[in-house]
Structure 1
Amino acid sequence: MSDSTRETHLSAPADRSRRVVVFGLGGTIAMTADATGGVVPALSAADLVAAVPGLADTGIEVRVEDFRRVPGASLTIDDLAALAEAIAETLDGGIDGVVVTQGTDTIEETAYLLDLAHAGQQPIVVTGAMRNPTMAGADGPANLLAAVQVAAAPEARGLGTLVVLADEIHAAARVRKTHSTSTAAFRSPDGGPLGHVVEGAARILNRPRHRVTVPAPPPGRTVEVAVLTMTLGDSGVLLDGVADRLDGLVVAGFGVGHVPAGLVARLAELAAAMPVVLASRTGAGSVLAATYGFAGSESDLLARGLIPAGFLDPLKARVLLHRLLALGVDPAEIRAVFGTASGHA
């Protein structure tokens, strides 16, 4: 694992144009209507690039890779592992940056997984669309244009994986999808966007102090990590039997990291058998560590062995825990990595 601030900004040599590769995975941005009238992924990466007004005028050389054509909800961790490997090979070829187009359903998770896997300087930019190409005001072409411009921008180097929609530039570790249909669905509640695309240029306003990268796990290792969201009057029935079926668990607790008192003993038993991460279901803010002291409070749960997720939301905490478990990292190092990734160390 690595933890560093990257501040190097290198421009493309003056004797060549900037080069970006677009990997198409499908999703709403690539959908057209089928015989039933519903939209399905059908457009290739080349189709998407060809439909972007003004892209040819940027002077950016764009190559395309038609990697998958599936809805965002059907992407798998294996798909993303293969994509990360393909991106790494592409970037080794002197490319200035990469764009990934996909369904917005899972962008906040896939972008973070790609961010964990990417230790290079070139930006990886993930984008999509909230309105499919058959709708008035389809946002796919504008989002793709902005994503290509950011991927080619020297200012975006060293920022890892970014999410670009609606001319906003978000860090993969912060961004969340906060609305089911709005074109302004993507927000970074903790810290805000890193910048904006203005007149075709990436304007970076703030830079994260650090980010965490995790080496690729060996192939063929199967890991199961679940997210359990606490609800009013939760009886804990979903905890029954999970010790034999999961390798790790993320608990999306109330508020700053609370659960019903009746669940404490079972969670403590699970934490003794597997890594159990405590996150907040609220969508913004950090899990606390030492404010409340009642049974089921954050301090109670952490004292019983749960791992604080800090500012990581439950979905990103699951992605990080899954990758660490797949790598075979021991519990002490898992706790240390979460301390860094969570923004608390």
Structure 2
Amino acid sequence: MTSSNRTPNTLRQIVILGVGGTIAASAASATQTHDYKLTGTLDTVLEQVPQLGEIANIRSEQVVNVASHEVDNAVLLRLASRVNEHLADPAVDGVVITHGTDTLEETTYFLHLVVKIAKPVVVTGAMRPSSALSADGPLNLYNAVRVAISEDAAGMGVLVVLDERVVSARDATKTHTSATDAFRGPDSVELGALSGGRVRFAASPLRRHTCDTSFDLAAVQALPQVDIVYGYQNAGTHFFRAAIEAGARGIVFAATGNGSLSEAAKAGVLMARERGVAVVRSSRVAAGAVSECADDACYHTIAADTLNPPKARILLMLGLAHGMDTTALRRAFEIY
């Protein structure tokens, strides 16, 4: 989507929002790629990529500056608000966000559901600190801007760009603790790639997103507590009980296999439903869908489809914030 006051020969206007993360971190040695600290800001990141000025007009804003495991619901709401406000500016053609990789998939899926303008939104980060001998952050940021200025990126929802891959925010998952190609979709689903100086899209997202969702944050002041309970051999009901007593309005059960409920998990689900707490069955398995089963009718649980536990938590949280009942939540997990 191009802005109305821009001629074809004018560079596109891109706003870069900084959240923090490894891309702004450094370590004591150039060969050290662990035990680093967040020492920089978005400005210090931008200083490493002066080439951005050759492909776009850049404006920047530091929204927060934290490691991504410190991103909470308040940060999600603040970031979504800033994205929507910037995109509403006719002079802005797209938004790029720098973010830590640990919870990048959660933030991007949240934005994928609540951004309400079809201009490109691209999120990137780094697997190695800026001080590393082969830091990946600068090129990732450059490529993210290249995607954001692409006309083909409009209407694609929120995109994740790392290691020259373009993945939908719904599918992007961190699959490795340290490799630079850590982000991809389940079953290697990718929308496109960068090569030879070009952005090449090969697919588009099929699930509803951004402008085509029922989620509107205008009236949302806070997001409800949703917790994740992990399934394993010999697990009891105590984690369900702890989540309920702590005030959770929803629980995502990271179950074994196809979202299977053990006898203890069934007891935990019943405790939750008696207290009006919604329960989604996801899976700890890396790929594949959790399909509906007889337990859903019996225990009023909701199948997560292909959403992993962290992403299922995001969708359940938004659904509960918008007053969805079990039927509406089931539909949401089918279409988003």
- 2:149 matched residue in structure 1: 152
Residue 268 of structure 1: how far off its partner (Å): 3.0
Q: Tell me which of 250, 253, 265 is aligned to 1:251.
A: 253
- 2:200 matched residue in structure 1: 203
Q: What per-residue deviation string (whole Å, max 9, x for no partner) do you get for residues 140-197 of structure 1?
A: 0010000011111101110111110000001000110011111011110146111001
Query: For the structure 1 residues 42 and 241, does the alpha-carbon distance in structure 2 shift closer, same or farther, using more than 3 Å as the test?
Result: closer
What's the secondary structure of 1:288's corresponding residue?
coil
Residue 29 of structure 1: how far off its partner (Å): 0.3
Q: Tell me which of 301, 304, 311 is aligned to 2:306.
A: 311
Native 8 Å contact 1:26 1:42 kept in 2: no
Count matched residues.
323
TM alignment of 1:175-324, pairs within 5 A: 175-190=172-187, 192-212=189-209, 213=213, 214-216=215-217, 218-221=219-222, 223-244=224-245, 245-272=247-274, 273-289=276-292, 298-324=293-319
What's the secondary structure of 1:105's corresponding residue?
coil
What's the secondary structure of 1:26's corresponding residue?
coil
The question of 1:120 aligning with 2:117 is answered yes
Query: Hey, what's the Cα distance between the residues in 2 that align with 1:311 and 1:151?
Result: 27
Q: Which runs of 4+ in 1 moved over 6 A?
A: none
Q: What per-residue deviation string (whole Å, max 9, x for no partner) do you get for residues 23-51 of structure 1?
A: 011111001348xx953223222221221
What's the secondary structure of 1:232's corresponding residue?
coil
Native 8 Å contact 1:126 1:147 kept in 2: yes
Native 8 Å contact 1:42 1:69 kept in 2: no
Q: What per-residue deviation string (whole Å, max 9, x for no partner) do you get for residues 270-300 of structure 1?
A: 23522111111101110122xxxxxxxx432
Query: Hey, what's the Cα distance between the residues in 2 that align with 1:119 and 1:54?
Result: 30
Native 8 Å contact 1:153 1:201 kept in 2: no
Query: Hey, what's the Cα distance between the residues in 1 that align with 2:223 and 2:153?
Result: 34
- 2:70 matched residue in structure 1: 74
Query: Hey, what's the Cα distance between the residues in 2 that align with 1:55 and 1:284?
Result: 36
Query: Hey, what's the Cα distance between the residues in 1 that align with 2:302 and 2:207?
Result: 20
Native 8 Å contact 2:22 2:126 kept in 1: yes
Instruction: Give the fraction of aligned pairs with identical amino acids, expressed as a percent.
Output: 34
Gaps of 5+ in 2: none
Query: Hey, what's the Cα distance between the residues in 2 that align with 1:285 and 1:33?
Result: 38
Query: Hey, what's the Cα distance between the residues in 2 that align with 1:222 and 1:80?
Result: 9
Query: For the structure 1 residues 207 and 222, does the alpha-carbon distance in structure 2 shift closer, same or farther, using more than 3 Å as the test?
Result: closer
Residue 53 of structure 1: how far off its partner (Å): 5.5
Query: Hey, what's the Cα distance between the residues in 1 that align with 2:294 and 2:61?
Result: 48
Q: Tell me which of 321, 324, 327 is aligned to 2:322.
A: 327
TM alignment of 1:7-156, pairs within 5 A: 13-33=7-27, 39-52=36-49, 54-58=51-55, 60-94=56-90, 95-156=92-153
Native 8 Å contact 1:98 1:124 kept in 2: yes
Amino acid at match of 2:106: E
Q: What per-residue deviation string (whole Å, max 9, x for no partner) do you get for residues 289-315 of structure 1?
A: 2xxxxxxxx432443210111011111
Query: Hey, what's the Cα distance between the residues in 1 that align with 2:23 and 2:150?
Result: 23
Query: Hey, what's the Cα distance between the residues in 2 that align with 1:141 and 1:46?
Result: 12
Query: For the structure 1 residues 57 and 118, does the alpha-carbon distance in structure 2 shift closer, same or farther, using more than 3 Å as the test?
Result: same
Query: Hey, what's the Cα distance between the residues in 1 that align with 2:222 and 2:96?
Result: 28
Amino acid at match of 2:149: A
